[in-house]
Amino acid sequence: MPHTSTSIITIERFIMEQERLHPEATGELSNLLYDLCLAAKIISRHVRRAGLTDILGSAGAVNVSGDLQQKLDLFAHDAVQNAVQHTGRVCIAVSEEDEEPMLCPPASRRGKYVILYDPLDGSTNIDVNVSIGTIFSIHRRVTARKGEPSLADCLQVGRKQVAAGYILYGSSTMLVYTTGQGVHGFTLDPTIGEFLLSHPDIRTPETGKYYSVNESNWNRWTPAVQRAVAAFKNGDGGGRMQAKNARYIGSLVADIHRNLISGGIFLYPADTRSSEGKLRLLYEAAPLALVVEQAGGAATDGRRPILDLVPKSLHQRTPLFIGSKADVAFASEILSTESVPA
């Protein structure tokens, strides 16, 4: 049936309807999600104008309105920070761009949530007009409300996230999130400046058609990782794994989003150059793991579920195997034959 105007569901209506399913909800999480929608729209507008920077003035220069031009990733960092820090829903925010967490002012109005985010992921794609994304992870504060929030609020196991999601600045801008009740995707209609429900209850295929990995790292991988990737590429010869097609953008959000919809596995294993892998546990792996698990997929570090890893430091890295369940299980099985590095 074609959509009529009354069947259009805005993100606001959707979040509100979800909130009604939880009579105990105070609305704070819903409002925090709206704050993130606002940041998403501001970043999206800026990203869409990025190609004009050379005409309108480059980073560090003063633009026509007299404002100082910022690099896009720093702009995105500030956009999220400004959207969440004054509304009284968050007590502490940590960005991949910052060494230390930022305590939200004023102390008297600090909220009960903690947000960790990667403001603009896909740094090598930012300046070349290729899809990039923002990733966010929301936890409940665990330290006492009376005192100062601390590192303990930020270093929580991924399983405890109350919400997580991403914003993809691709051929259209999409916001995809979960609060633990399925994964829902919204597409920004730029003509009305509103996110509209376009992908309700996303389910990822059990087995994927794509494998996504930076194969230039091949010589730096362990033999088990090489065997797994070879099986995704050529099939395993035993009929358990069919050869897959390759797709790799080098922007985590875009690679994960494509595989979430079409099915596939994304791998960023450890290698001899990065013994812990490249991606960050708190800002990248954990939020995307919650989204993918909620859509019926899986995410591991090769052995353990990403959502069970206990973070020890803010900028900790982890190997990542994420996507269609059968494909992630296949890779984990091969990796389990290898002894754990000391």
- Positions marked active-site: 67, 73, 96-97, 118, 120-121, 284
| Interaction pattern, residues 38-77, with ligand AHM; x per rule: CB under 6 A | ----------------------------------------
Cβ neighbours for 257, distance < 8 A, ≥ 6 positions apart: 133, 166, 168, 170, 174, 176
* Type of residue numbered 315: H
CB of 226 to Mg ion, least distance (A): 25
Rounded to a whole number, what is the largest CA-CA distance in the chain? Answer: 65
CB of 123 to Mg ion, least distance (A): 7
Q: What does 19 bind: ligand AHM, Mg ion, none (CB cut-off 5 to 8 Å by kind)?
A: none
**d(C-alpha 13, C-alpha 222), whole Å:** 49
Contact status: 118 vs Mg ion (CB under 5 A) = yes
CB of 258 to Mg ion, least distance (A): 17
Contact status: 255 vs Mg ion (CB under 5 A) = no
Contact status: 121 vs ligand AHM (CB under 6 A) = yes
Is the CB of residue 167 less than 8 Å from the CB of residue 11? Answer: no
Q: Whose CA is closest to 124, among 250, 298, 296?
A: 250
CB of 293 to ligand AHM, least distance (A): 19
Is the CB of residue 189 less than 8 Å from the CB of residue 175? Answer: no
Q: Whose CA is closest to 135, among 170, 187, 93, 177?
A: 177
Q: What does 214 bind: Mg ion, ligand AHM, none (CB cut-off 5 to 8 Å by kind)?
A: ligand AHM
CB of 63 to ligand AHM, least distance (A): 25
Footprint of ligand AHM on 269-288 (CB under 6 A): 278
Burial class (CB in 10 A: 0-12, 13-18, 19+), 4: exposed
| Sole binder of Mg ion in the list 121, 153, 255, 293 (CB under 5 A) | 121
Q: What does 251 bind: ligand AHM, Mg ion, none (CB cut-off 5 to 8 Å by kind)?
A: ligand AHM
Is the CB of residue 156 less than 8 Å from the CB of residue 307? Answer: no
Cβ neighbours for 88, distance < 8 A, ≥ 6 positions apart: 109, 110, 111
Contact status: 123 vs ligand AHM (CB under 6 A) = yes
| Interaction pattern, residues 244-273, with ligand AHM; x per rule: CB under 6 A | ------xxx---------------------
| Sole binder of ligand AHM in the list 122, 149, 297, 323 (CB under 6 A) | 122
Place of tokens 């009604």: 20
Q: Which residues bind ligand AHM (CB under 6 A)?
A: 121-124, 214, 250-252, 278
